Homo-oligomer: A and B are copies of this chain.
């Protein structure tokens, strides 16, 4: 795999000089005016020039006719001229040392009539040939809060707080709303980019920049598509290695989106679920909504990570407990089981009519006594069975007696586990909220669903930090391993056991082979032309004795008529649970392990679990647990529990074999892989390797 290239974002986000090209009162729907005043209000954090051949002066500033007339080669041009004039501007700028440009203009072929498609193609060529760093076209610009440079036109983003959150948004409009709301919630920002149509720089470049940037500690993104998956994954790995959590919203999770994705990749591994596998692998928190992403960012930037999944929840109301329990099930939260010693200590702290549980309703008396409430929470934090704690935190109300965050600070000092506050509903995020949250030194999340999802984000990110991100090993296999007889042996050596079977040239040999394998057996016709065995009566099942095998073979031979017969395959009958296990090369994200229950499950319900390869045994077990029909492995319709250990080894074995031979294989699927009873292993009934073209 070639090493992905990242392009330079510095001149775009850290310019020393800026030119507004197309500056006029009304140019770009008034955006040039707003951009200029954004810079002016910040005291011109970069030297700022105006370009417009039809003006001499504007806003008390000199206007230059072109790049050539400027007193210096500028770093960053803000291009707000109509699409038809953009390429001329770009050529002129490049000729005069321009390093970066933000092209706000639209009309490069993205609309319904494809208007401007030719101009767009030319623009792409200019960018590629010159290597200039371009944001857009059809974007709403960027902002560098860390440097007081606001190149996002709507003035409502003026005055955002500096901080450690950097952002990458494909939707410029949504960018503005998100940062305004995140700001109200107390987050501060380093850099943010609205990507637009990514003719030059793309999300992977911006992600790479934010990973290197010392001001950025948490990265948020709203993505529509991933233009360069390899570069994106390389940047995500850099973010992980740098300890900078990434949380994002990725569009395209709809049925409509899935339908579109279906035509591009396999029928089972649809695009959206593949992207979930990417997020899982790289420790990325994928949020269900942009509101959720605010809470996730607050939780992730807090810095504390849990050592395990066991959550304790302390509330001040039975209703909050009930609401929490409702969400816990849906979000897959693991609730901590309190140790008996903790329960005893707590019972001494709470009134006699208050039950000690997790989630806990501490009762209304403790709710209004924050010190005692936090003392109770400390007992939770001290329990070895607890990995992280969510407490119904009270931003002080006007009639509360205790307004100090001191009890929360003490609680956190008593533990190194994550302690997060939450309100049971969304509330107005006012100055009081922000100050209290800041002074308490812990996040206060909004509403129980978003809180539980944020807790799960911490749990998953913590688990990924402990496990690390495995690398794709270099292929070490030989092409000869793929020869028909050899393939089965090599897979068997990796735990992918084939059924016991033997080739027989005639009916007598078949009967003898069957006796050797053990009854009952299945008998299949072997013929170069017999592709659809059942259609020509070429498959007999459940033959229980030598006579039956001999008779069946004779009848099958007779029914073949003139079709040339090579012989018979005698195979043990297998009574197991049908699974599908496969590895396929996703065209975007590379080798992908697919596990599902076979038969109707995979065909009708698409009940599969996906991971990027390689997977180890722990991960294979988690995959099995994700299946909706997972209970089938515990035994089903009176069957004994299935041999999950053997299944796990087979999944890992197939993953390993595929990676070693991916030079020649694009897809390797076993369907069905029959899972026998505990201790009896698996049988790879049908192995289907697909060679690369």
Interface segment among A110-118, A302-310, A474-482, A666-674: the answer is A110-118
Is A290 in contact with B323, judged by CB distance below 8 angstroms?
yes
Contacts of A251 on B, CB cut-off 8 Å?
319, 322-323, 325-326
Interface segment among A62-70, A94-102, A254-262, A656-664: the answer is A254-262
- Alpha-carbon gap, A364 to B325, bound state (A): 42
Closest chain B CB from A439 CB (angstroms): 20
- Alpha-carbon gap, A322 to B260, bound state (A): 14
Q: What are the interface flags for A544-569 relative to B under an 8 Å C-beta threshold, 1 for contact and 0 otherwise?
A: 00000000000000000000000000
Contacts of A255 on B, CB cut-off 8 Å?
329
Between A289, A323, A637, the greatest number of chain B beta carbons within 10 A of the residue's beta carbon is seen for A289
Is B352 in contact with A291, judged by CB distance below 8 angstroms?
no
Is A319 in contact with B169, judged by CB distance below 8 angstroms?
yes
- Alpha-carbon gap, A452 to B10, bound state (A): 40
Interface residue from B254, B290, B605, B637 paired with A425 (Cβ < 8 Å)? B290
Contacts of A44 on B, CB cut-off 8 Å?
none
Q: Is A590 an interface residue (CB 8 A)?
A: no
Closest chain B CB from A266 CB (angstroms): 18
Contacts of A184 on B, CB cut-off 8 Å?
428
- Alpha-carbon gap, A637 to B425, bound state (A): 48
Chain B residue at smallest Cβ distance from A256: B325
Interface residue from B249, B317, B426 paired with A291 (Cβ < 8 Å)? B426
Is B173 in contact with A367, judged by CB distance below 8 angstroms?
yes
- Alpha-carbon gap, A288 to B452, bound state (A): 14
Is B181 in contact with A426, judged by CB distance below 8 angstroms?
yes
Closest chain B CB from A608 CB (angstroms): 14
Q: Is A628 an interface residue (CB 8 A)?
A: yes
Contacts of A632 on B, CB cut-off 8 Å?
600, 604
Q: What are the interface flags for A629-640 relative to B under an 8 Å C-beta threshold, 1 for contact and 0 otherwise?
A: 101100011000
Q: Which A residues, 149 to 173, have Cβ-Cβ distances below 8 Å to chain B?
A: 154-156, 169-173
Known: A322-B252, A600-B629. A172 touches B317 (CB 8 A): yes
Closest chain B CB from A443 CB (angstroms): 16
Chain B residue at smallest Cβ distance from A448: B289
- Alpha-carbon gap, A193 to B152, bound state (A): 49
Interface segment among A353-361, A464-472, A514-522: the answer is A353-361
Q: Is A449 an interface residue (CB 8 A)?
A: yes
- Alpha-carbon gap, A252 to B322, bound state (A): 7
Contacts of A256 on B, CB cut-off 8 Å?
325, 328-329
Q: Which A residues, 313 to 348, have Cβ-Cβ distances below 8 Å to chain B?
A: 316-320, 322-323, 325-330, 347
Is A425 in contact with B178, judged by CB distance below 8 angstroms?
yes
Q: Is A177 an interface residue (CB 8 A)?
A: yes
- Alpha-carbon gap, A662 to B398, bound state (A): 59
Interface residue from B254, B258, B320, B354 paired with A112 (Cβ < 8 Å)? B354
Is B29 in contact with A365, judged by CB distance below 8 angstroms?
yes
Is A181 in contact with B352, judged by CB distance below 8 angstroms?
no
- Alpha-carbon gap, A154 to B316, bound state (A): 14
Q: Is A424 an interface residue (CB 8 A)?
A: yes
Q: Is A212 an interface residue (CB 8 A)?
A: no
Closest chain B CB from A679 CB (angstroms): 23
Copies of this chain, count: 2
Q: Which A residues, 448 to 496, have Cβ-Cβ distances below 8 Å to chain B?
A: 448-449
Q: What are the interface flags for A102-132 relative to B under an 8 Å C-beta threshold, 1 for contact and 0 otherwise?
A: 0000110011110110000000000000000
Interface residue from B110, B288, B320 paired with A173 (Cβ < 8 Å)? B320
Q: Is A25 an interface residue (CB 8 A)?
A: no
- Alpha-carbon gap, A171 to B316, bound state (A): 11
Contacts of A171 on B, CB cut-off 8 Å?
317-320, 322
Closest chain B CB from A109 CB (angstroms): 9
Interface residue from B177, B353, B631 paired with A107 (Cβ < 8 Å)? B353
Is B177 in contact with A425, judged by CB distance below 8 angstroms?
yes
Is B174 in contact with A319, judged by CB distance below 8 angstroms?
yes
Is A428 in contact with B430, judged by CB distance below 8 angstroms?
yes
Q: Is A56 an interface residue (CB 8 A)?
A: no
Q: Is A575 an interface residue (CB 8 A)?
A: no
Closest chain B CB from A629 CB (angstroms): 5
Is A319 in contact with B170, judged by CB distance below 8 angstroms?
yes
- Alpha-carbon gap, A322 to B637, bound state (A): 43
Interface residue from B155, B319, B325 paired with A257 (Cβ < 8 Å)? B325
Contacts of A178 on B, CB cut-off 8 Å?
425
Is B222 in contact with A319, judged by CB distance below 8 angstroms?
yes
Contacts of A156 on B, CB cut-off 8 Å?
397-399
Known: A115-B352, A318-B171, A604-B636. A329 touches B253 (CB 8 A): yes
Chain B residue at smallest Cβ distance from A369: B29
Contacts of A367 on B, CB cut-off 8 Å?
173
- Alpha-carbon gap, A629 to B291, bound state (A): 32
Is B320 in contact with A424, judged by CB distance below 8 angstroms?
no
Is B356 in contact with A112, judged by CB distance below 8 angstroms?
yes
Q: Is A641 an interface residue (CB 8 A)?
A: no
- Alpha-carbon gap, A155 to B368, bound state (A): 13
Chain B residue at smallest Cβ distance from A368: B29
Interface residue from B115, B169, B174 paired with A320 (Cβ < 8 Å)? B174
Contacts of A253 on B, CB cut-off 8 Å?
326, 329-330
Contacts of A626 on B, CB cut-off 8 Å?
none
Closest chain B CB from A360 CB (angstroms): 12
- Alpha-carbon gap, A355 to B111, bound state (A): 6
Q: Is A686 an interface residue (CB 8 A)?
A: no
Interface residue from B106, B169, B288, B428 paired with A429 (Cβ < 8 Å)? B428
Between A256, A427, A429, the greatest number of chain B beta carbons within 10 A of the residue's beta carbon is seen for A427
Contacts of A327 on B, CB cut-off 8 Å?
289
Given A107-B352, A111-B353, A604-B631, 18 more pairs with CB closer than 8 A:
A29-B365, A111-B352, A112-B353, A140-B364, A156-B398, A171-B320, A171-B322, A172-B364, A174-B319, A177-B425, A224-B322, A249-B323, A252-B322, A255-B329, A290-B424, A291-B426, A426-B426, A605-B629
Interface residues of A (CB under 8 A from B): 29, 106-107, 110-113, 115-116, 140, 154-156, 169-175, 177-178, 181, 184, 222, 224, 249, 251-258, 288-291, 316-320, 322-323, 325-330, 347, 351-356, 364-365, 367-368, 397-399, 423-430, 446-449, 600-601, 603-605, 628-629, 631-632, 636-637
3 A-B pairs with least C-beta separation: A171-B319, A173-B317, A111-B353
